[in-house]
A and B are shown apart, each in its own frame.
Chain A
Amino acid sequence: KAGVTQTPRYLIKTRGQQVTLSCSPISGHRSVSWYQQTPGQGLQFLFEYFSETQRNKGNFPGRFSGRQFSNSRSEMNVSTLELGDSALYLCASSLGSSGRGQETQYFGPGTRLLVL
């Protein structure tokens, strides 16, 4: 099976712009989660989608949003970019069947975003 894929792999934006990142989960996986990774804060949970619905959300401002399509592919959007949004954005997928937090999440390679 193909792993989790993310596009683009690298992105450079300027402050105030917006950006959309894409994630394709492993075939058959219905849950997609997004994480932000920075040297200072480490890996932090952004949100999780299951069956096109946001099921869980981390502690990030409303500038960060996402959605999931019927084929389980997901996108996340960051509006009004700030310098501090520079990070590696990781997508992870899991089957999503248990709904009780005990399923393995498999990560993609990430999208590295640089905000200038």
Chain B
Amino acid sequence: GESVGLHLPTLSVQEGDNSIINCAYSNSASDYFIWYKQESGKGPQFIIDIRSNMDKRQGQRVTVLLNKTVKHLSLQIAATQPGDSAVYFCAETLYGGSQGNLIFGKGTKLSVKP
């Protein structure tokens, strides 16, 4: 089916290390991708986005890479901190579709060990 998925359901890293969370998508028509962070008891929080005409975008301590050839998206978190512990979701929207229709992956739980 045309959906976004994640390779790793859980990821445990040491504080200070870099984290990489991966995501695969199957629809080559998707043209906008977003990473969200969801902490326990809260709604998803926007982290960073990227459009299909880009292959890399950087934010504060985060970098998103997009490889359209293999339909792969990744989120890199530099110097991971305990406050980064959360579930991370990638989401995609289809070109020409309404922005309401985000297709979410299942999520990866990031656990940061002090």
Interface string of A83-104 (1 = CB under 8 A from B): 0000000101010101111111
CA distance A42 to B36 in the complex (A): 13
Bitwise, B69-104 to A at CB < 8 A (1) or not (0) is 000000000000000000001010111111111111
Contact partners of B98 in chain A: CB under 8 A: 48, 50, 55-56, 99, 101
Complex CA gap A6/B102 in Å reads 19
> A90 CA to B95 CA in the complex, in Å?
23
Known contacts A4-B43, A90-B43, A100-B96; is A48 also within 8 Å of B32 by CB? no
CB contact between B100 and one of A42, A56, A107 (< 8 Å): that residue: A56
A8 adjacent to chain B (CB < 8 Å): no
Residues on the B chain within 8 Å of A103, using CB? 99
Complexed CA–CA distance, A11 and B45 (Å): 23
Q: Cβ of B42: which chain A residues have Cβ within 8 Å of it?
A: 109-110
- CB contacts (< 8 Å) of A58 on chain B: these are 101
- In the complex the two chains form, is A100's CB within 8 Å of B99's CB? yes
List CB contacts (< 8 Å) of A58-98 with chain B: 58, 90, 92, 94, 96, 98
Question: CB within 8 A of A45: which of B95, B103, B107?
Answer: B103
8 A-B pairs (CB sep. < 8 Å): A31-B99, A45-B103, A48-B100, A50-B100, A100-B96, A101-B98, A104-B49, A107-B46
